[in-house]
Structure 1
Amino acid sequence: MPTLTSLNPAVGSTVGGTVVTITGTGLTGSSAVTFGGIPATSFTVISATQVTATAPAHAAGNALVTVTGPTGVSNPLNFVYQAPVTPVVTTVSPSSGPTPGGTVVTITGTGFTGVTAVTFGGAPAASFTVNSATQITATTPVHAAGAAPVVVTKPGANSSNADVAFFYVNSAAITSLTPDQGPTSGGTVVTITGTGFTGASAVSFGGTPATAFTVNSDSQITATAPAHAAGTAQVVVTAPGGPSSAADYLYIAAPVITSVVPDEGPATGGTSVTISGSGLTFTSAVSFGVNPAPFTVLSPTQVVATAPAGAGTVQVTLTTPGGTSSGLPYNYIPAPEI
């Protein structure tokens, strides 16, 4: 006759499915395992001293487990059926993320032991791990924008408190920058226009954080450009929906002038002066001392200006979005006395 000595575990859910290791003697050739008179869903004879069996569904309470062998039925051992504990979700952190998914969230609550599924708005989590009876980490799946109830499931029970949701947010998008250029020293206040800016947590210029920024509305941010090397830098806004599309901002080095030819002319003005140097493409002003001069940009290295009227020796300077150059002298020749 087979003899049973222990069940592990000795407690399971009323919905069945608990895999129980039955230990004893004389178990070779076992032909049946029952829980409270109900056949096990399945069983495997491992050895003369061990059988594994999957508990069938059964009402809550005690159920006697027996094994039938070639020589008869074993002594019974008690297995306790318990109604499954309904899992309860209380919080999800973070509570929002992008529609393409991929956000790792921590789900807090109770009754998580044995959870077999986690869904966001009905879509299965990309992955999940049950850390404890009160915590699960899950990776959000792809989902449309809006609230997605977070539900955890285990045999016989879905979580309650479906009001707990993860909010999917569309990615931010930048449509324009005003202005879209400034000096390498930074400090330019840039108006960023687009969509999905509510809750933005960062603004960067070429990977460098903005010196400061303010979210004015879902469609507008003002940001102060940081210092950056000359060239194009991509502006990106990070919002709950993820990083935005990028927009180009041009950093312009301060202009440098190396020569003024000719470097003198009559006090009445009118002399055509060729100013040579570098970084002159975006020239916005040419000055002879305090007096502005009309000018034409010929190339990144050359500007032609018409000297205004003046007196004495003045400094010729040139201004671009990158700043104002250092000056070179220009000498006004007084008219001869008659």
Structure 2
Amino acid sequence: ITGTGFSTVAAENVFAVGGLMGTVTSATATTLVVNCPIAMAGDYSGTVRVVGKGLATHSIPSFRYRPSVHSFTASQTSLAGGRTITITGNGFKDVRAVAARNRCTFEVLSWTASTVVAKTTACGETSGATLDVYNGDWTRSQCYATPCDIVSNSALTPIVTSLTQNGNTITIQGTFISSVEADMSVSIGATACNVVSFTGTQLTCEAAATHRAGTYPIVLNVAGYGNAYQATPSTKTYALTVTAISPTSGSLGGGQSITLTGTGFGMNYTSVTIGGLPCTVSSATDSSLVCATAPSATAGAMDVFVNVVSGFAGVHPSNLTATTQYTYDNALTPTITNIAPYAGSTAGGTILTITGTNLATTMTVSIAGVTCVQDAGQQAATTATTYYCTTGKHTTDENPVIVGATPAN
């Protein structure tokens, strides 16, 4: 940048582009040499401020940032893809695609103005194919790296010749290229299969015993190369089963917390219905889930359907279903005919008498979320038609009394 009135001390000249600070590397009274800041693609105005003087009047043209590739961490990959590449540069914005020019497109994992992380995908042989980054407006990057090419060929591709499964033990044979066990990783969907032995031509790994239900691809990845080629892609299937439900029955009023055990569940992927009514899932692991029953207008045994959405990136999801039974039981359904008194002190301490049917000391009673507590005497006096408890402290208001039954089974 040429002009007049600059400080001869580089640090006393402040250069910015679009509000982003650059670095002044050398200065004279008439010339500044600067490094521009990292920025997303676009047009920006530039400013120079001299400490003790203020902003310079200038005719600096706007700076146009375009995407540029300066370096990347891997220039070769397996024909089966699967190698992660970190690309550094400038001007990246809303990155839409990374590609080996005119050959294949890679999976974009993340991006910033100066860094793009992508994973190579399966494609044909490439040689002399420039690595390109495409911004959201499809502006293609200029490459300043040496070399700028991505190479992919059979010599860089590990090959699986056979894959067998014995329960959760998976044995893979083939040409692995690398002879280092630490370079080997096996995944089943997004879950690692723990490598337990490696001879150079044979690898054995142990898969997780439990997993969200579905069919998932088994992929061998070799560090420095990428995924191994398989003539016939291999998969592992995890079943959806329900082996137990507890309790097996409850009130028609709903609100019963039930636990289902089995295999193949998963939080955020599992839904439960009982007789067509939703049972709201509050927690779930691969082998257990808890849900709360909904009120039912009808008593009797009803089918419990557990539905799991199965799928993995690149694999079309499917719905898997397992069933068991739950009974809405009139005998376990409290009915309330009267509550006395209807009002009490906000300080609590009011003895509440509830009359009705199917009442028991195992019930829980709350008023606006505050528990109405039973002492030993009130528990002894409670019958199937009369329930006693003492209210807790609460602010003044009119609130519903919630009665929940907990069946013995």
Length-normalised TM-score, structure 1: 0.31
Length-normalised TM-score, structure 2: 0.27
Structure with more contact order per residue of length (Cα contacts < 8 Å, sep ≥ 6): 1
Which protein has the bigger helix share?
2
